[in-house]
Structure 1
Amino acid sequence: MSSPSTFNGWLGHDPSSAKGSMRWQSFTPKTFTENDIDIKISHCGICGSDIHTLRSGWGPTHYPVCVGHEIVGHVVRIGDAMKDKFQLGDRVGVGAQALSCLKPDCEECSTGNESYCSRMTGTYNGKYADGSWSKGGYADYVRVHGHFAIKIPKALKSEDAAPMMCGGITVWSPLKNNGCGPGKRVGIVGVGGLGHFGVMFAKALGADKVVAISRSRGKEADARKMGADDFIATAEDEKWERKHSRSLDLIVSTVSSPDMPLNSYLRLLRAKGTFIQVGAPEDTLPGLSAFSLIAKGCKVGGSSIGSPHEIEEMLQFVAEKDIKPWVEVRSMKTANQSIVDMEDGKARYRYVLANESANQAKL
């Protein structure tokens, strides 16, 4: 096994690439170091972050960019410092982070919070110290620091594991870190790629009650199949915030709309409840009343992806509980159409791109 000197992938050259104008081209990856591994990609999930980045929605993107940070594949090259951790052919996953400083005096890295390191480098559109830019998983290969690659449990299919590397961990981390489990009543805002993981995880973690919250009832049947005990349709249910007032201990919001009814969501919290935002709008969040917090002593916070050890914990949990994400596998060749369909809300509930050549090879 080996990797080529140049990789190939779908490159976006300007904001119009988010509308399906990426081009399959070759590119040179970052310089290989003793800490790196090369992965032959078999699957890559499509994340909303990909579209935000392609269109420069969160700020100027460095073009050309190859997006994709829900990566699964097989190790084909190993740096000397990583030979005790990996063997050629290992099946691994990579999420939204490709590097952090990893210094022992870093408060975040030294405590297992690498995703919050101030020198965090994203799996794509991130700048390395040598001046090169990270390229993601809409490609045939990816090169990353081995610390941020996680072995995939044998019980998990690659197409199921891929969307967990970002979509799954983004909700797993705040659920675990905010006490989701027996004795807790949990709400998940948004029944999409992230939200469907949130519903399944909250149920599997043993929450007393799981409530899916969406604008309409179009996804209610699906949400209940995923494990939701109740459903709130904010655009259809009259006085929903009053009816369900003080009913939830924890709310995780996965939506990326800046016009969310934030104050109404906070009415759903019980005393000392917690609201965690994980969706990232391209605009600011709406304002909120101080009394929404003071009157019940509730907290509002945020959460960003998760550390390598959290991803490993999540994958083991999913394997043990036999949790099956709702995915649609599409050919890597369809990347342009697939991001358009994703933006149009057609995914039910995560698209995963598959490299036919990699999946046919006997690695």
Structure 2
Amino acid sequence: MRPTAHALTALTALLALTLPLGAQAADPVTLADVPGSADHPVISRFTGSTLAGWGQQDWATTELPNATGAARGDRRQLADPVRAEGKLTQLFYLGPVGKTALEVFRNHQQALVAAGFKPRFSCELKACHDTFFALGKNARGRQMSWAKGSLMGARGSFKGREFPLVMALSPDEGRMLAGTLTRNGSTLELLLYTSLADNAYTDRAATYIEIVEPRSMQTGQVSVDANAIAAGLQADGRIALTGLFFDTGKAELKPESRPQLEAMAELLKAQPGLKAWIVGHTDNVGSVEANEKLSLARAQAVVAALTAPPYQVDGKRLAARGLAALAPVAGNGSETGRAKNRRVEMVAQ
């Protein structure tokens, strides 16, 4: 039985009475970009969109869909996810009122393909449901900053009603891409998901973009103390000294290396019979000859520092060696691996 016009009018009036105070006066176009936020340089926003959520971390890890997407039979989990590390940027856009999720998604998709994007996973509509839930939108949203205000109903009986803004993605009209984009010699991981912004009554699309840029993590932020050095030498015969710092291409120890030098001197004084090689290592950038020279010079700088005041370790107990890139501990194909290979080790003689 279809409701009468009188019944529809009464229902609309009842819904209006249940709205939060001030909801009727709210305007969906007054939302502004998150203060301090910015579009990512590899992908622009859909014209007229608002950057309503934004986050950026210099070093973070995230899980992205592989070619399969969600785990079979468990939409809460990604199947064998791609784990990406590096500079993480998260962007949440609200499209203009009246623009469909399909139009917004297709524009992003075409721009990415034109830029050389290589999709690893893609889905549309019902095929996206499980992978959408496996992403865990709420956990991702907690890392972001959000614009002030609410998502507003723009049409129908819910016009003017407030809906939560934070991660207002939905499985409705959902479309997703995950893959890689190469820029300036670096390969970025990129996730794109567009759907209705919460529900059909908002008459807007929501787009979430996640970009991971490979970069070297700032290493050497923790010095290895005397006990750890002793344990490493006992177990493996060597240990990497993460608290020794040099400028790129130089062999002068930086002042912040002092805690590491103190720990080395403490061990050498506690074990007067210990003799050690101080061995410098580099990545594979540059010629072998230059890296041999640099790695040896850095090892010699450490020996010189330990045998001089205030440490005054007997020079006969230490010998410097340089191995350039001949003994890597990680692949040199990425900046993360190269950072691990640039190190100075203490090796028991």
Is TM more than 0.5 here? no
Larger RCO (alpha carbons 8 Å, 6+ apart): 1
Name which one, 1 or 2, has greater alpha-carbon Rg. 2
TM-score by length of 1: 0.24
